[in-house]
Amino acid sequence: MTTATTTSRTAVVTGAARGIGASIARRLAADGLAVAVADLEESACYSVVEEIQAAGGRALAVRVDVRDEDAVHDAIERIVSELGEPTVLVNNAGIIRDNLLFRMTVEEWDAVMDVHLRGSFLMARATQGFMTKAGWGRIVNLSSTSALGNRGQVNYSAAKAGLQGFTKTLALELGKFGVTANAIAPGFIETDMTAATAARIGLSFEEFKTAAAEEIPVGRVGVPEDVANAVSFFVSDRAGFVSGQVLYVAGGPKA
């Protein structure tokens, strides 16, 4: 059940055209928030927006390159004008450029750092003012179990570990303004990204999922809705005393 307070809130979800981001956008809309469905290509967001609107929610497709300071500024201005001042931010945009260390190029390193770290920084900086003014805000950053180390992902692992430190510092700086910051570290989730990893190592996606499930205590791989459910909690009023935390959504203990 939504409340008048919830229905007046606006969330921004980056990387929301598909996969985990799309599931988060749909869940937050179902929770009663207006949702800016943001991604690198605006047209890729249309189907998610249409689905939300068909279910009675409010949503807006927004193009944003999270690496670009001016693009972030323009996107937030449009969201404020057409949807409302954002007091919820979910930094989900991400890419992989997997390679072993000795083969990894500077371009592969920089691309991952720019999207995950620079992008999350620019988005958080652009939205925090609305949160502090409102005296209420929620920032959720998508980390990963790869933050604990993963072969072939030295760039991605470093970026996801960096997001955990970023999260804890935001919690320290913004807590006195009524703003919480938390991170979610998914394990194996069925997405295009994990399918790409399967292809990289020469396995079919079904083989890859079966092998992964055998190593997960709950006996299955995750789905995007598992992550969306955790985001829903962190964004809610119920989580007002939870900040600076990293929640591993991985089907078993990881750290």
What amino acid is encoded at 14 in this protein? T
| pLDDT in the model for residue 38 | 98
Distance CA 30, CA 57 (A): 7
- Could you give the angle at the alpha carbon of 96 between the alpha carbons of 226 and 196, nearest 5°? 70
| pLDDT in the model for residue 212 | 92
Q: What is the mean pLDDT of the chain?
A: 95
Mind listing the pLDDT tens digit for each residue in 35-68? 999 999 999 999 999 999 999 999 999 999 999 9
| pLDDT in the model for residue 5 | 54
pTM for the whole structure:
0.95
| pLDDT in the model for residue 6 | 57
pLDDT tier for residue 4 given thresholds of 50, 70 and 90: very low
Beta-carbon contacts of 129 under 8 Å, excluding residues fewer than 6 positions away, are: none
| Domain 4-187+223-249, CATH class in plain words | alpha beta
The 8-class DSSP code of residue 14 comes to E
Given the residues 109, 156, 188, 248, the one annotated as active site? 156
pLDDT tier for residue 3 given thresholds of 50, 70 and 90: very low
> Coil, strand or helix: which one is 247?
strand
Which has more pLDDT, 180 or 8?
A: 180
DSSP string, 95-157: ----B-TTT--HHHHHHHHIIIIIHHHHHHHHHHHHHHHHT-EEEEEE--GGGG--TTBHHHH
pLDDT tier for residue 192 given thresholds of 50, 70 and 90: confident
Q: Any catalytic annotation for residue 46?
A: no
Mind listing the pLDDT tens digit for each residue in 219-237? 999 999 999 999 999 999 9
Residue 87 has pLDDT above 80, yes or no: yes
Distance CA 179, CA 118 (A): 21
List beta partners, residue 248: 185
Compute the average pLDDT of residues 150-160.
97
Distance CA 114, CA 157 (A): 14
Compute the average pLDDT of residues 121-129.
98
Plot region of 89 (φ>0 → left; ψ -120 to 50 → alpha; else → beta): beta
| pLDDT in the model for residue 254 | 75
| pLDDT in the model for residue 154 | 98
Q: What percent of the chain has pLDDT over 70?
A: 97
Sorted by where each begins, the domain ranges of the chain are 4-187+223-249, 190-221
What amino acid is encoded at 136 in this protein? W
> Coil, strand or helix: which one is 79?
helix
Residue 143 has pLDDT above 60, yes or no: yes
Contact 198, 157 (CB under 8 A): no
Compute the average pLDDT of residues 99-123.
98
